[in-house]
Amino acid sequence: MAEMSISQVTQHTGIRPSALRYYEEMGLLSPTRRIGGRRQYDESVLQRLALIQTGQQAGFALAELAILLNNVLESESSGAAWRDLVDRKLVEMDERLRNIHSMKRLLEDIMDCDDDSLAECIVLTGQRHQL
């Protein structure tokens, strides 16, 4: 496999060199071989970076992705463990959505308030939403 410099990886992925170094620190990327003090990446890093980007888009934190990439995908029972992580993320996302919808309803109710005092509208509406 051909090796790529950090700038070549950046050109292919759009990921900043500082992020690549950070991913390496976090264990998301394997430590690279160095030639003359410069990092050299195996082409397989592109697939791993694509997994990281997709995971981030799906809402996974980098620490969660480190577990997913280093423990789950490399284990013999990766299917079940992977599904467990995704199920937990889906539950977390559902909770976030409920919170966002609640915040949106609260803001809409504040906007619908007939009181001239914005502060009074916020207090009264907030009290109704706590009940």
pTM for the model: 0.70
How many whole angstroms from its chain centre is CA 56? 3
User: How do the domains of the chain map onto residue ranges?
Assistant: 1-74, 78-131
Give the sign of the dihedral formed by CA 98, CA 99, CA 102, CA 103: negative
Tens of pLDDT along the chain (131 residues)? 688 889 999 999 999 999 999 999 988 998 778 888 888 898 889 989 998 999 999 999 998 888 888 776 665 666 777 788 889 999 999 999 999 998 898 888 877 877 677 777 777 676 677 65
Q: How far apart are the first and last CA of the chain?
A: 63
Q: Can you say how many angstroms the Cα of residue 110 is from the centroid of all Cα atoms in its chain?
A: 32
Task: Given CATH 1.10.1660.10, say whether it is the number of domain 1-74.
Answer: yes
